[in-house]
């Protein structure tokens, strides 16, 4: 497998690139509109053809490049079937692996940050890899105060599903704000300040007291991402230009 962890600085988002060495097919997990050209250059340099973009959830802090990549690269759009987005080509669900060449992605339903959030597990090597989106971050977790988020639900998703994976499982989150790249199930069970040794009530109290700022892109990112990256027409021209598959730059 070819693997790259790519970073978008404004939203501190990790996009993950997976390539099948046998077929040359590739998957981009949680791609960001502003870094689409970079992602295409990486794919070209690696000799890969983009087969799918794959989402963990409907993002509030950035607009996905899924729709524009479909127009430019011919890729298909995959994301949680529960979101029921007409723009997706493939809805993924727990118990229904996504196979791309020799790559197999096992969806794990991990709601709480959003009500349809999914993580993805890759196995087959010496160590399992879990791509946990905004559910489980390094020494943190996703917020639960919008998009049908729920702290108790997120606690159960992490404790019962992600923390039940083997301790050596590597954790690759959708964001990190301190330039960290990877963790493990064992490390998060031991050191995550919001979750380690905490009861569900303690976790709920922690989440209720965060007082986080309103996401600056949320008012257009969420409706745009519900259309796989097609932004509303009333946006400023420079933002609309990024979203529109018919326009470049």
CATH at residue 51 = 3.60.15.10
Model pLDDT, residue 234: 73
Q: What is the pLDDT of residues 174-231, one digit of tens each?
A: 999 999 999 999 999 999 999 999 999 999 999 999 999 999 899 999 999 999 998 7
Does 245 or 231 have the greater pLDDT score?
Answer: 231
Cβ distance 65 to 243 under 8 Å? no
Spatial separation of the C-alpha atoms in residues 152 and 160, rounded to whole Å: 12
Nearest to 39 by CA among 2, 69, 83: 69
Q: In sequence order, what DSSP letters do the residues of 178-217 get, joined into one string?
A: SS---EEHHHHHHH-TTTTT--HHHHHHHHHT--PPPPTT
Give yes or no: residues 7 and 88 share one domain: yes
Q: Which domain holds residue 150?
A: 110-212
Same structural domain for residues 72 and 28? Answer: yes
Contact present, 115 and 82 (Cβ < 8 Å): yes
SS3 of 20-67: CCCCCEEEEECCEHHHHHHHHHHHHHCCCEEEEEECCCCCCCCCECHH
Is residue 94 located within the same domain as residue 122?
no
What gap in Å lies between CA 143 and CA 114, rounded to an integer? 9
pLDDT at residue 78 above 60? Answer: yes
| Same domain membership, residue 67 and residue 22 | yes
Same domain, 60 and 44: yes
153 shares a domain with 183? yes
CB 134 within 8 A of CB 57: yes
Counting Cβ atoms within 10 Å, is residue 15 exposed (0-12), middle (13-18) or buried (19+)?
buried
What does the pLDDT look like over 24-37, one tens digit per residue? 999 999 999 999 99
Whether residues 77 and 142 share a domain: the answer is: no
Statement to judge: residues 66 and 96 lie in one domain = yes
pLDDT tens for residues 131-166?
A: 999 999 999 999 999 999 999 999 999 999 999 999
CA distances from 179 to 7, 24, 84, 161, 215 (A): 10, 30, 34, 26, 20
Give the per-residue pLDDT at 159. 98
> Do 87 and 115 share a structural domain?
no
Q: Is the pLDDT of residue 246 over 70?
A: no
In the chain, the number of structural domains is 2
Same domain, 134 and 88: no
């Amino acid at each position: 497998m070819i693997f790259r962890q790519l970073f978008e600085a404004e939203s501190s988002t990790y996009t993950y690139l997976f390539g099948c060495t046998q077929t040359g097919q590739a998957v981009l997990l949680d791609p960001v509109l502003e870094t689409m050209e970079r992602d295409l250059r990486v794919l070209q340099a690696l000799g890969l053809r983009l087969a799918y973009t794959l989402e963990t959830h409907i993002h509030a802090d950035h607009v996905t490049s899924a729709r524009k990549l479909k127009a430019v690269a011919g890729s298909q759009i995959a994301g949680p079937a529960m979101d029921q987005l007409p723009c997706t080509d493939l809805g993924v669900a727990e118990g229904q692996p996504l196979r791309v060449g020799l790559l197999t992605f096992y969806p794990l339903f991990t709601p709480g940050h959003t009500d349809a959030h999914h993580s993805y597990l890759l196995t087959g090597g010496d160590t399992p890899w879990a791509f946990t989106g905004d559910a489980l971050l390094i020494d943190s977790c996703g917020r639960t105060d919008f998009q049908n988020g729920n702290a108790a639900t997120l606690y159960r998703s992490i404790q019962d599903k992600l923390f039940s994976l083997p301790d050596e499982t590597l954790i690759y989150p959708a964001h990190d704000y301190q330039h960290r790249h990877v963790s493990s199930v064992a490390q998060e069970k031991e050191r995550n300040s919001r979750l380690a040794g905490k009861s569900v009530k303690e976790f709920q109290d922690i989440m209720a007291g965060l007082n986080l700022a309103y996401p600056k892109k949320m008012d257009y990112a969420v409706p745009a991402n519900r259309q796989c990256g097609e932004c509303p027409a009333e946006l400023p021209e420079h933002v609309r230009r990024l979203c529109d598959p018919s326009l470049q730059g």
